[in-house]
Structure 1
Amino acid sequence: MPHGLTLTESTSGARSLATSSMAVIGIIATASAAAGVATTALNAAFPLGTPVLITNIAEAIGKAGTGGTLLPTLEAIADQVTPVLVVLRVEEGEDDTETSTNVIGAMPTLIAAKSAVGVRPRILGAPGLDTATVTAQLAIAAKRLRGRAYARAIGESDAEVITYRESYSARELTLIWPNTSPTFIGDATARALGLRARIDEETGWHKTISNVALDGVTATIRNIAFDLLDSSTEAGTLNDADIVTIIREFGGFRFWGNTTCAGDDHSEYRFESAVRTLHALQDIVIEAFGPSFDKPMTVALVKDLLESCNMKFKDLATDGWIMGAKVELAATGNTSAELAAGRPKFALRFTPCAPFENPTVDFAITEEFYSDFASQVAA
């Protein structure tokens, strides 16, 4: 017999599952540069219609040209985080309508970007190009990618942006107003993309973008009235309409609001964190189930799959990312015929962590703190 350590590998049993990265940003942008060498460098770095993987944003900024939306978008994101990005450059049209058509035409390429660059963008935006028609398509792309789209709420007043928000009913969409730059209309949106990625990396996908300090912001194009004890202020009114706004409180500028554009029929996904949690748990199920596809379906295989998922869910609950989750074989629908056809049915129940959004503190005048007054004086 050999004298030493023998290592073996087994592919059976429950597997340890990783927490997927949802922090990859995907942007669609325009860019231009001066004629000659600058244009050549821009075209080489960001060829039209081709998804480009960016892992060094500082280097990308130096190649992003001087015109269009790409440069200010990258700069705003870089103020928040050093991310992994997928950049899809489109041609600027003769007018906004033509540019929007170009952006929308690029959406399928962004959705399929993983096959070209190896990563799936999960935080989506087209800062400065997000017209109403583009935003509607961004929401669809986010649904396809199990991601989150951020876009500006278009309007010059509370009433206008609230009316604008009523055009959407996508749980994967967050609308933001007002803007943070007088020169680039996509500045606030770009900063939301960067902040979402930063929160994913530093805290987790279970935290919304609300009430986290924004870097690089010195003003907004409109000052939003805010009072933590008065929900009828402008900030409260916008939040009630499911618009994330920007306030200057607690030592700086920060987004304020946790909600999505989910319609009344998806009220359980009103919070951004609930949607992100859903997508994260879907990733876990995909990671667990994917390698087992087309294997012989045995009791042991199904038990291993369930154990792999539920172990991960317990870890997430222990770490405070979810309140709890469990997947099991569905109580109904698993007939002998369905199982023999390779179509088992599973049921997954989960409880996301709700944001600490609206606590109540009851104030009451009492005499109790005078109860030992005399003894304290005598002492």
Structure 2
Amino acid sequence: MTHGLTITESSDSTVSASPASMAVIGLIATSMAGAGDVAADIDAAFPLDTPVLVTSVDIAAGKAGSLGTLKKALEAIGDQSSPIVVVVRVEEGADQAETDANVIGTTTATGQKTGMQALLAAKALLGVAPRILGAPGLDTQAVTTELAIVARNLRGMAYARAIGDTVAAAVTYRDNFSARELMLFWPDTNDWTGDAVARVLGLRARIDEEIGWHKTISNVAMDGVLAITKDVHFDLLDSSTDAGVLNDAPVTTFVRTDGYRPWGNRTTAGDDQPDFAFESAVRTSFALQDLIATTIQPFVDKPMTVGMIKNLLEKMNAAGRALVSAGKVVGCKFLFDRSKNTSAMLAAGRPNFTFRYTPCAPMENPTIDLQITDYYYSDFADQLV
């Protein structure tokens, strides 16, 4: 018989797990051997239609062939940050249609996913899920349309170029899309088609790591930009400029003010999704979905008692309070609504919860009333005494 104090440890913590990383890039690119390259080495490092985990973009760029988009995209990403990247290398086709088909990919009869569809297998194969998606230099309208769908399935965002030689053409091109998981950018940067989107991917990952997914990509300096490929008139005090017209479309542009930086907060969400007009709102929703899944998973299939539900509510609300304290949401609350939970539903093991939250909106358009007044002359004479 034991006489004394026995202490045991349990994992019944009220602090929930953190959301999964939102800073993993999914990059679709082409790569071929040029002068001095060995094709077999490229094939070994980046097998076609296979998700490859890259933990050092600099080392990976050295293994990529000098032809195609992969090397240049990795270098542009590396100028911004050193993120985890899932690379899917695709074969360049004999014409644009064939290249588009290779980039978009499919699921073969044996179940293998090719092209951008291979990003959907990254979690199972590599242990990470890409959430920042792009195909710099390969993002035609057909590719971008499909990329937005893959982004939705991964609870991520797609970043692509708005195709057009003029502001008007870029605005017209934007009308082809109505996905909240997509942001369009115009014009390009530096000397190759796709440079801007590649830099945006790296910048988005850097913002996630340094600030968080609640900060939009707008008005953050982007490294390695020497010039933009089209003139964009910008004036912070005048919305009728090129930048203002593009943002109203909405298309995100690039402005030169203390360096080059993206300018624009909005996705291509249609008028039927006004709550998800801001990039930050979409990515907050996805981050919260991750958090909910991570926190609730240990409770699934446990005996449903009053104590268990109270414990779950406290865990979720503790996680919510941490997000509010960190400034990642304005407010949130995890609720068990009596009216939505009948005895029959509970007996069937189907409780209903509500997670109510307010994402952080960017201060996109502050209004300042500039008033002229003689008030400050009211004690003028007294100050001369």
Please confirm whether the aligned pair reaches a TM-score higher than 0.5, indicating the same fold: yes
Deviation at 1:117? 0.8
Map 1:1-379 → 2, pairs under 5 A: 8-12=8-12, 14-34=14-34, 38-105=38-105, 106-182=115-191, 184-249=192-257, 251-378=258-385
How many Å separate the matches in 2 of 1:179 and 1:127?
10
Classify the secondary structure of the residue corresponding to 1:295.
Answer: coil
How many Å separate the matches in 2 of 1:174 and 1:332?
39
The question of whether the paired residues in 1 share the 8 Å contact of 2:37 and 2:66 is answered with: no
Classify the secondary structure of the residue corresponding to 1:61.
Answer: helix
How many Å separate the matches in 2 of 1:159 and 1:267?
24
Quick one: which amino acid aligns to residue 57 of structure 2?
Answer: I
The question of whether the paired residues in 2 share the 8 Å contact of 1:120 and 1:145 is answered with: yes
Deviation at 1:330? 3.2
Compared CA separation, residues 293 and 242, structure 1 to 2 (3 A): same
Deviation at 1:297? 1.7
Classify the secondary structure of the residue corresponding to 2:383.
Answer: helix
The question of whether the paired residues in 2 share the 8 Å contact of 1:258 and 1:272 is answered with: yes
Deviation at 1:245? 0.4
State, as a whole percentage, how many aligned pairs show the same letter. 58
| Deviation sequence 1:129-174 (CA, Å, 0-9, x none) | 1111110111111111111110000111111111111111110100
Quick one: which amino acid aligns to residue 332 of structure 1?
Answer: S
**TM score, norm. by length of structure 2:** 0.94
RMSD of Structure 2 on Structure 1 (CA): 1.8
Deviation at 1:364? 1.2
Deviation at 1:336? 1.6
| Deviation sequence 1:183-203 (CA, Å, 0-9, x none) | x21111111100000000000
The question of whether the paired residues in 1 share the 8 Å contact of 2:24 and 2:85 is answered with: yes
| Deviation sequence 1:288-343 (CA, Å, 0-9, x none) | 11122222222222222221111111111112111001111234331222111111
Classify the secondary structure of the residue corresponding to 2:287.
Answer: helix
Aligned partner of 2:110 in structure 1 is: none
How many Å separate the matches in 1 of 2:363 and 2:212?
16
Classify the secondary structure of the residue corresponding to 1:89.
Answer: strand
Classify the secondary structure of the residue corresponding to 1:287.
Answer: helix
Classify the secondary structure of the residue corresponding to 1:373.
Answer: coil
Quick one: which amino acid aligns to residue 157 of structure 2?
Answer: R
Compared CA separation, residues 331 and 131, structure 1 to 2 (3 A): farther
Compared CA separation, residues 41 and 231, structure 1 to 2 (3 A): same
* Larger mean Cα displacement after TM superposition, 31-40 or 17-26: 31-40
The question of whether the paired residues in 2 share the 8 Å contact of 1:58 and 1:78 is answered with: yes
Compared CA separation, residues 162 and 296, structure 1 to 2 (3 A): same
How many Å separate the matches in 1 of 2:62 and 2:339?
58
How many Å separate the matches in 2 of 1:6 and 1:125?
56
How many Å separate the matches in 1 of 2:199 and 2:83?
12
Deviation at 1:35? 7.7
Quick one: which amino acid aligns to residue 205 of structure 2?
Answer: A
Quick one: which amino acid aligns to residue 141 of structure 2?
Answer: A
Compared CA separation, residues 98 and 84, structure 1 to 2 (3 A): same
Quick one: which amino acid aligns to residue 218 of structure 1?
Answer: L
Compared CA separation, residues 192 and 2, structure 1 to 2 (3 A): farther
* Larger mean Cα displacement after TM superposition, 267-276 or 8-17: 8-17
How many Å separate the matches in 2 of 1:64 and 1:130?
20
5+ long unaligned stretches in structure 2: 106-114
Which 4+ residue blocks in structure 1 deviate beyond 4 angstroms? 1-7
The question of whether the paired residues in 1 share the 8 Å contact of 2:19 and 2:294 is answered with: no
Deviation at 1:92? 0.7
Compared CA separation, residues 175 and 6, structure 1 to 2 (3 A): farther
Count of residues in correspondence between the two structures: 376
* Larger mean Cα displacement after TM superposition, 157-166 or 146-155: 157-166
How many Å separate the matches in 1 of 2:12 and 2:79?
46
5+ long unaligned stretches in structure 1: none
Aligned partner of 2:109 in structure 1 is: none
Deviation at 1:11? 3.9
Classify the secondary structure of the residue corresponding to 1:327.
Answer: strand
| Deviation sequence 1:219-275 (CA, Å, 0-9, x none) | 0011210111111111011000010000111x1100000000101110011000011
